[in-house]
Amino acid sequence: MKYIFVTGGVVSSLGKGLTAAALGTLLEHRGLKVALQKFDPYLNVDPGTMSPFQHGEVYVLDDGAETDLDLGHYERFTHTKLTRFNNLTSGQVYQTVLNNEREGKYLGKTVQVIPHVTDEIQKRIYLVGEMTKADVVITEIGGTTGDIEGLPFLEAIREFAQDVGPNNAIFIHVTYVPFIKAAGELKTKPTQQSVAKLREIGITPHIIACRCEYPLNKDVRQKIALFCNVPFEAVIEAKDVDHSIYEMPLMLQRERMDELVCRLLHLDVPRPDMRSWQEIIRKLIAPAHRVRIAVVGKYIELQDAYKSVYEAVIHGGIAHDCGVQIEKLDAEQIEGEGAERVLKGIGGILVPGGFGERGIEGKIAAARYARENNVPYLGLCLGMQIATIEFGRNVLGLAGAHSTEFQRDTPHPVIDLQEDQREVRMKGGTMRLGSQVCQLVAGTRIQRLYDAASVKERHRHRYEFNNRYRASYEAAGFVIAGMTPDGSLVECIELRDHPFYCAVQYHPEFQSKPNAPHPLFRGFIEAVHDNLHRRPLLGPVGA
Ligand code: GLN
């Protein structure tokens, strides 16, 4: 088994996760089985309890693990199967070590960062390798070199690389090469210094991936090679991509990163055939059609809060050779200005998942606008609860209908807590989480889109459709399109008299890939596109 460690220097948000994922794509296309995992040095056990302002999206895996959003990149860029073991935080490491200590497992020894904490970290690398039977395990270390909290992880991977030997483990360091306008120059000093920091703790990177806004010229590359002690060819230019993150694998291939990695790790595998991936990029850069949709949310100003949703919508477009322009709309803006004004001319409306009361009325107004104006609507998790509240209030006349999450004493709790959630006191990891079976109702739009009798989708919520109201909803054209196999929980709904109004209690966005768009997003974009004839949006390109 071969191991690649990806570290980051200079600043955060350099796209280490994307670099790791894109390298994974290239290695897979060379016929290798790849595993990816992320180490996060923070003390939270998982990001499930963190605010999107702190952390961005929480990405949910099949097994219900709430993980870092980089795992979303891993799943979208490769076929790797991820479990809760693929995201390790300092919180988990210390929890394990302290539990061991209480159980007396350390036989009277003083418990220390080295070796007890570092051993736990290393065990995880071996474990993921064994579980996945991968040829190559790529491990991304969160944070930036120089962070105090990252030190145990760096020490652990240094020792690990020693143990497995020189041709079996390599280090890739992702850094930033800024362009200083006043000097008209790219500057290599931050890179030199962050590599020096790594070398202080005994890690010499084999490859330096330089994030930059301008191309690295020969001089700059030579300088980095000299000062960072790597061959010239190991200085990789990772320039900002022009159109899409999915260009990353092709960019790294042009820089021969995969070739170098294979050479360093003595992997004798053919060059990757990237033609199908290139076709995806072609559709993203020059699509035959275009549509404009709105995502109505609460964390709209944050790039990362709805990452998988934005990606899945783009995948839905790829399925139809259709570029998707996403308008990110703040639900509170709709509350202030009115849905009519804000949403006019929008081709489709998507309400993603969310928690907390802020912006709820704006989302309800958006759902109403979609229903009344025949605008395609896709509701995800909270988006289904919103659709339910809206329909209750405005179609069934249930005045004050609400979710008990937002109004405990609502006269019509159309969305309510399940019995088993009422007793829950601990916040972390206690929602309805992970992949569960949804039995689809034959002949519904959603069932036809899936083209299956049942599906497995990932959940992350506490509240559910209240079955007490089911009969009156159904009688008015609110179709229950999917349930849990025991018939107890509503999983997806659609409106009978509408071109496309679908909403699901789960998170389909976590299972969409550029080369395998999720059926619901495919259907949503198709519906938006087909509505073009009635209500021209941006129109076909060139029209
Ligand atoms: N807040 C809602 C619940 O807990 C929806 C959660 C979500 O959208 N992920 O049920």
Q: What is the pLDDT of residues 432-487, one digit of tens each?
A: 999 999 999 999 999 999 999 999 999 999 999 999 999 999 999 999 999 999 99
- Mean pLDDT throughout 167-192? 94
262 classed as catalytic? no
At 535, the pLDDT band (50, 70, 90 cuts) reads low
- 381 labelled catalytic: yes
Known catalytic residue at 502: no
377 CA distance to ligand 1 centroid (A)? 18
Confidence of residue 533 (pLDDT cuts 50, 70, 90): low
pLDDT tens, position by position, 307-356: 999 999 999 999 999 999 999 999 999 999 999 999 998 999 999 999 99
How close is the Cα of 414 to the center of ligand 1, in Å? Answer: 14
Q: What atom in ligand 1 is closest to the CA of residue 356?
A: 1
> Which ligand 1 atom is nearest residue 352's CA?
8
Strand ranges in 219-301 using DSSP code E only, listed in sequence order: 235-239, 289-297
What is the CA angle 82-88-89, rounded to 5?
145
The per-residue pLDDT for 69 is 94
* pLDDT on residue 28: 97
**For the chain, what is the mean pLDDT?**
94
Q: Whose alpha carbon is nearest atom 6 of ligand 1?
A: 461
- Pick the more confident residue, 19 or 13: 19
Average pLDDT over residues 126-147: 95
Q: Does residue 490 have a pLDDT over 80? A: yes
By DSSP bridging, strand 478-483 and strand 490-495 are antiparallel
Amino acid at 464: E
Catalytic residue among 212, 381, 438, 492: 381
Instruction: Look at 40-49, 228-237, 514-523, 526-535 and tell me which has the smallest mean pLDDT.
Output: 526-535
Atom of ligand 1 lying closest to residue 354 CA: 8
Angle of the 307-318 helix axis to the 275-285 helix axis, nearest 10: 100
Q: Measured in angstroms, how far is the CA atom of residue 304 from the centroid of ligand 1? A: 18
Alpha-carbon distance of 517 to 528, in angstroms, equals: 16
pLDDT at position 425: 82
Pairing mode, strands 454-461 and 401-403: unpaired
**Of 536, 528, 220, 531, residue with least CA distance to 378:** 528
Instruction: Write down the pLDDT at residue 543.
Output: 38
User: What is the rounded distance in angstroms from the CA atom of residue 84 to the CA atom of residue 100?
Assistant: 20
Tell me the average pLDDT across 489-513. Answer: 97
Which one of 462, 489, 491 would you pick to mutate in the ligand 1 pocket, going by the greatest count of ligand atoms within 8 A of its CB? Answer: 462
What's the rounded mean pLDDT across residues 9-14? 86
pLDDT (tens digit per residue) in 270-283: 999 999 999 999 99
pLDDT score recorded for residue 536: 47
**Residues flanking ligand 1, CB < 6 Å:** 353-355, 381-382, 405, 460-463
Q: pLDDT grade, residue 534 (50/70/90)? A: low
Closest by CA to 220, choosing from 183, 247, 251, is: 183
Residue 156, judged by CB atoms within 10 A of its CB (0-12, 13-18, 19+), counts as: buried
Q: Which two tokens stand for residue 140?
A: 């991304």
Pick left, alpha or beta for residue 490 (phi over 0 → left; psi -120 to 50 → alpha; otherwise beta).
Answer: beta
Choosing from 491, 509, 518, 529, the catalytic residue is 509
At residue 272, the pLDDT reads 96
pLDDT in tens, 376-428: 999 999 999 999 999 999 999 999 999 999 999 999 999 999 878 888 888 88
pLDDT band for position 242 (cuts 50, 70, 90) = confident
What is the CA angle 71-74-79, rounded to 5? Answer: 130
The set of residues, in sequence order, having a beta carbon less than 8 Å from that of 360 and lying 6+ positions away, is 331, 386, 406
Average of per-residue pLDDT across 194-220: 95
Count how many residues are written for the chain: 543
Whole-angstrom distance, CA of residue 240 vs CA of residue 484: 44
Distance 429 CA to ligand 1 centre (A): 13
263 vs 26: CA distance, rounded Å: 14
Calculate mean pLDDT across residues 227-254. 94
